[in-house]
Amino acid sequence: RPFLDHVITALADAGITDICLVIGPSHDVIREYYEQVEKSRVRIHFAIQQTPLGTADAVAAAREFCGSDRFVAINSDNYYPAPELGQLVTLPGCGALGFDPEALVSKGNIAADRVSAYAVMTREAGKLAQIIEKPDPKTLASLGEVLVSMNCWLFDASIFTAISQIDKSARGEYEIVDAVRQAISDGNPFDVVPVHSACLDLSNRGDIASVAAALESHEVRL
């Protein structure tokens, strides 16, 4: 089964019933597959991101689908654990999953030297305090206890206001991390759910074998 089937199954296990896939204008194969595949637990919707202008732009593309509801935004190339997704959706406001760096390595498929390529989060009284992208070893050591962001967020409609306020990053994209920083600056706090289990990463071809092995016995139920 496609990797995304496993991702959606975990969302369904967490109690999420309506899922919006943000796709490009020519991604008809994905649309056709999910329109035809058997589904008993979820409804699949689609939003079009006309031009790939970053993660915040992708979230903005789903604004009509989200309406005034709270929603979870994730990467489609990561498999997140259902129990912690379930904790995330029960938060009273906005939030994020924060992964223990050692657990990502020992329980998942992420090598130790790759952890520094992700953004890390610091907390104060359980709330997100800082997000630092790809910290160098000196910076990382100065931060103390950190959790790794794998881009698993719980948002409300205020994120769209934050997205409208940010500029493009140095990469020329609208980054969801910048939108989260803006939202916090606007007075919208984020709770962080600590995660001590794996997040599987399928961001390059070298990850295929390890992800396939980890999900070998995982039942897909859409």
Summarised one tens digit per residue, pLDDT across range 163-187 is 999 999 999 999 999 999 999 999 9
Q: What is the pLDDT of residue 159?
A: 98
Average the pLDDT over 198-221 and give the result.
92
**Confidence band for 204, pLDDT divided at 50, 70 and 90:** confident
Q: What is the pLDDT of residue 113?
A: 83
State the Rg of the chain over Cα: 17
Q: Is residue 86 part of a domain?
A: yes
Q: Is residue 170 part of a domain?
A: yes
Q: Is residue 220 part of a domain?
A: no
**Confidence band for 141, pLDDT divided at 50, 70 and 90:** confident
Q: Is residue 16 part of a domain?
A: yes
Q: Is residue 26 part of a domain?
A: yes
What is the per-residue pLDDT across 142-151, written as a single tens digit (0 to 9) for each?
Answer: 888 899 999 9
Q: What is the pLDDT of residue 222?
A: 97
Q: Containing domain of residue 190, as a range?
A: 3-214
Q: What is the pLDDT of residue 138?
A: 86
Q: Is residue 34 part of a domain?
A: yes
Q: Is residue 222 part of a domain?
A: no
Q: Chain-wide mean pLDDT for the chain? A: 95
Q: Is residue 27 part of a domain?
A: yes
Distance CA 170, CA 172 (A): 5
Work out how many domains the chain is built from and give that number: 1
CATH number at residue 25: 3.90.550.10
Q: What is the pLDDT of residue 125?
A: 93
Q: What six digits make up the tokens of 198?
A: 């794996």
